[in-house]
Structure 1
Amino acid sequence: MDINTITEIVTRPEGHAKTDWRDGDAWLGGGTWIYSEPQPALRRLVDLDGFGWTPLELTEDALVVAATCKIRELHDFEPPAGWAASGLIRQCCDALLGSFKIWNMATVGGNMCLALPAGPMTSLAASLDGTCVIWTLEGAERRVRAVEFVVGDRRTALARGELLRAIELPVSSFLARSAFRQVSLTPRGRSAALLVGLAYDDGRFVLTITASTKRPVRLAFDAAPSAEALTDAIGQAIPADLYHDDIHGLPAWRRHLTFHLAEEIRQELVA
């Protein structure tokens, strides 16, 4: 879609996200959302491709995913041997239902910053206990846990003009065993519930709930919980008004899915 309010595109932003930020500005990643509908408030786009970030970098401690990394690039990443939970990468990418054109243009950071409850990149980052690296307008850098980055439907922890630079996914999370469950109202629909469980070698059990809730919910246990303990923990962590309500699923149904899929994951990982 043409956006006829845009008067300028900054193709080579300078330095540490320092930009003469003003009302009407927006960061441009893949553009799959910005160009999908009218944006009457926008006047200028700052193209993140101008930073030239490396899409994926593997360090000793983390897989660093640039905000501009395309969904296709992340999906095609070949993990090192021994990463038991590496399958979550492709499972979450596959949960982003779209054409090959979307996959080749949509970015990991864009999916997270859009902050839809069903955003699968948010699910991936939150479930792996990732960290979001954020650039401020002052040229500083701050970090936010991925589970706390999306704070509500279409709302993030970003302040005005701030930029999501990268997501750091710890190698230690990839070494855990994983279980994945995702349900949609229709065969090719948006996720109504997406849950991920991790079981660590030291006995820890972590369940991350997304899509059915307006923001991610992460429950951590020192040891695998009983069915009753898990049910109680979910009930305490998710009040009724935290379940999402839209055309893709009613809150009561999403709540039912959450408890049902959580128990499936618990049984799989305990076994």
Structure 2
Amino acid sequence: MDLNTVMEIRDARDPAPWRPGDAWLGGGTYLFSEPQPHLRRLVDLGRTGWRPFARTPDGSLEIAATCTVARLSRSAAAMTVPAAPLFEQCCRAFLASFKIWNTATVGGNLCNALPAGPMISLTAALDGRCLLIAQDGSRRRVPVTAFVTGAGRKDLAEGELLRSVTLPARSLDCRTAFRQASLYGLGRSGVLVIGVLDPADGSFALTVTASTVRPVRLWFPLPPTAGALRTAIGSAVADDEWFDDIHGLPEWRRHMSFRLAEEIRRELRDRGER
């Protein structure tokens, strides 16, 4: 879609004061999908040269905001860590064409803050932290679970930039289990639940997304019982936080979240006992 109110596109490497009507341009799959009458200038991140996918000295994984879904998929395929399969599962949850895969970015998916955003699911489940850079150069780190605050809402100030998401080394060494449900064979995720079992200390984490307006991550020092897990989910998600749109009623999303969470609990428990 043409954005006929945009009068200028500026390279992000060229310093210039941020002004009303500016927006960061990553892949642009959302920006160009519908009218944006409030925009006057786009600040293009395409030539920043950020490494899309890099291991840090402590073994953590830093994913640049400009990393595309296709690049994430290719890079993760070469990883040998136990959590590697989860990357491809979440990439496939887009159910998008190759054009979207090669254009859409990890950062864009997080900043759109849509409940069904699979990059939110991936990074929240693996305890990711967002690096945010303000216009004055100051930096802050925010957990993904705190960055996305609701459907379409995020903790991002005017002009602030999501630079990257870092996944700790410990999370990459965890066993994972993935479940997704949709009302249609090739429909948008109505429920997406991920379980993570840490072999180092036996702790268990469950992340619920798509069915809720924000990512919900629950951590347990040991795998919980079925009743304890159900109680924890019910306490963590308020009645009005079960998402409601044409892709699923709140009652169905809630029911499927509990069901898939129990499947994951059993799968990771059984794997941990082997």
TM superposition score normalised by structure 1? 0.96
Tell me by how many angstroms 1:61 deviates: 2.6
Counterpart amino acid of 2:29? T
1:88 corresponds to: 86
Where in structure 2 are there 5+ consecutive unaligned residues? none
1:125 corresponds to: 123
Tell me whether 1:45 sits opposite 2:45 in the alignment. Answer: no
1:262 corresponds to: 261
1:35 corresponds to: 32
Where in structure 1 are there 5+ consecutive unaligned residues? none
- Mapped to 2, the partners of 1:176 and 1:64 lie a distance apart of 17
Counterpart amino acid of 1:204? S
Cα deviations by residue, 1:173-202 (Å, 9 ceiling, x for unpaired) = 011111000111111111101010011111
- Mapped to 2, the partners of 1:166 and 1:200 lie a distance apart of 24
Structure 1 moving runs of 4+ over 3 Å: none
TM superposition score normalised by structure 2? 0.95
Helix, strand or coil at the partner of 1:256: helix
Tell me by how many angstroms 1:37 deviates: 0.9
- Mapped to 1, the partners of 2:254 and 2:82 lie a distance apart of 29
Cα deviations by residue, 1:65-109 (Å, 9 ceiling, x for unpaired) = 00000000001113443x111111000000011111000000000
Counterpart amino acid of 1:55? P
Tell me by how many angstroms 1:13 deviates: 2.7
1:22 corresponds to: 19
2:144 corresponds to: 146
Helix, strand or coil at the partner of 2:94: coil
**In the alignment, is the contact (CA less than 8 A) between 1:13 and 1:19 conserved in 2?**
no
Tell me whether 1:11 sits opposite 2:8 in the alignment. Answer: no
Tell me by how many angstroms 1:50 deviates: 2.7
Tell me by how many angstroms 1:12 deviates: 4.3
1:227 corresponds to: 226
Counterpart amino acid of 1:22? R
- Mapped to 1, the partners of 2:40 and 2:152 lie a distance apart of 21
Tell me by how many angstroms 1:28 deviates: 0.1
- Mapped to 2, the partners of 1:71 and 1:170 lie a distance apart of 20
Helix, strand or coil at the partner of 1:196: strand
- Mapped to 2, the partners of 1:256 and 1:19 lie a distance apart of 50
1:233-244 matched pairs, under 5 angstroms: 233-244=232-243
1:193 corresponds to: 191
Q: Percent identity, aligned pairs only?
A: 55
Helix, strand or coil at the partner of 1:105: coil
1:2 corresponds to: 2
**In the alignment, is the contact (CA less than 8 A) between 1:182 and 1:193 conserved in 2?**
yes
Number of residue pairs matched? 267
User: Quick one: structure 1 residues 105 and 120, their matched pair in 2 at CA, closer, same or farther if it must change by over 3 Å?
Assistant: same
1:54 corresponds to: 51
- Mapped to 2, the partners of 1:65 and 1:200 lie a distance apart of 22
- Mapped to 1, the partners of 2:123 and 2:202 lie a distance apart of 21
Tell me whether 1:207 sits opposite 2:206 in the alignment. Answer: yes
Counterpart amino acid of 1:8? E
- Mapped to 1, the partners of 2:79 and 2:48 lie a distance apart of 28
Q: CA RMSD in A?
A: 1.0
Helix, strand or coil at the partner of 1:46: strand
Cα deviations by residue, 1:137-183 (Å, 9 ceiling, x for unpaired) = 11111100011111000000101111100000112101111100011
1:249 corresponds to: 248
User: Quick one: structure 1 residues 253 and 28, their matched pair in 2 at CA, closer, same or farther if it must change by over 3 Å?
Assistant: same
**In the alignment, is the contact (CA less than 8 A) between 1:25 and 1:42 conserved in 2?**
yes
2:95 to 94, 97, 108: 97
Counterpart amino acid of 1:35? F
Counterpart amino acid of 1:75? S
User: Quick one: structure 1 residues 19 and 268, their matched pair in 2 at CA, closer, same or farther if it must change by over 3 Å?
Assistant: farther
Counterpart amino acid of 1:84? P
